[in-house]
Amino acid sequence: MTERRIIDHPVLGKLDEQKKVSFQFDGRTYEGYEGDTIASALLAHGIRTLRKHEETGRPRGIYCNIGHCFECRVTVDDISNIRACLTPIHNGMVVETGQQLDTPLSPDQTEPIPRTYEEYEEWKEKKEQSK
C-alpha cells in the first residue's frame, strides 16, 4: 500500500504515523488509513473501478472527487448511492460496487417486454439460462 502513498513531500512534510483501518470492498478486505475516503483508500491499492454504469455496464471511477459528479457512488453498509470520494472509511465498513442493471423495457430487445413483475421474473430467468 505504501508505494502509492506520498509519504515524504518537500513542502507538506512527512506523512504522520496513521491509524490503520480495515474495510471490505466487494468481498475482499483492504487496509486504509484513518482519514482516508473510500475512494482514496482504494486508489492507494490501485483500484480505480468503483461502479458499473447502470445501463451500459461500463466501468466508472472517480471523476471530480469532491462530491459533485456522483460517479463514485457505492453501497456502504447496505445504503446505496454513497459517494466514495466524500465518505471516510471506518473499521468493518462493507462497501459494494453497483452493477449493471437489467433493461427489461428496452425497445431494442427481441424478447417480449414484461408487463408485470411476474413476467419480469420469467424474463430474467430466461436471460440467465440463455447466457
Partner 1 sequence: MKDVVIIGAGPAGLAAATVCRQHDLDVTVIDEFSKSGGRLLGQLHEEPTGEWWNGIKEATEMTEEAKALHTDIRLGLSVHHIEKRADSYAVHTNKGTIPAKTVLIATGAAESAAPIPGWTLPGVMSIGAAQVMTNVHRVKVGEKGIVVGVNVLSAAIARELQLAGVDLHSMALPAMNVVSGDEAHPKKVMEKLVRIAHLAPSAFIKFGSKFAKAAFVRHIALQFFPKSGVKMWDMPIHLRKAIKEINGSDKVESVTMVDVKPNGEIVPGSEEIIEVDFVCIAGGLYPLGELAAPLGCPFVYQEELGGHVPIHNEKMETPLEGVYVAGNITGIESAKVAREQGKVAGYSILSYIKQDQASQAELAAAMESVRETRDQATIQFHPHIQTGRQQVHESFEKLTK
Partner 2 sequence: MQDLVICRCEEVSLKELEETAEKFNCSARELKLRTRAGMGFCGGRTCRPAVDKVVHDITGEAPSNDLPLKVQPPVRPISLHDLGGSES
Query: Site size for partner 1, by CB under 8 A?
Result: 35
Cβ contacts of residue 32 below 8 Å, gap of 6+? 1, 20, 21, 22, 23, 40, 41, 42, 44, 89
Q: Indicate the residue among 82 and 104 with the shorter CB distance to partner 1.
A: 82
Q: Quick one: cell of 95?
A: 462497501
Fill in the per-residue mask, 33 to 72: x = in contact with partner 1 (CB under 8 A), - = not in contact.
--xxx--x--xx---xxx--x----xxxxxxxxxxx----
Looking at residue 101, the DSSP 8-state letter turns out to be P
For residues 5, 10, 16 and 18, what is the CA-based torsion angle, rounded to 10 degrees? -10
Residue 56 binding partner 2, by CB under 8 A: yes
> Which residues in the 35-54 window bind partner 2 by CB under 8 A?
53
Residue 81 interacting entry, from partner 1, partner 2, none, C-beta within 5 to 8 Å by type: partner 2
Query: Site size for partner 2, by CB under 8 A?
Result: 13
Check if the beta carbon of residue 25 is closer than 8 Å to that of residue 42: yes
Which chain residues interact with partner 2 by CB under 8 A? Answer: 53, 55-56, 58, 60, 63-64, 68-71, 73, 81
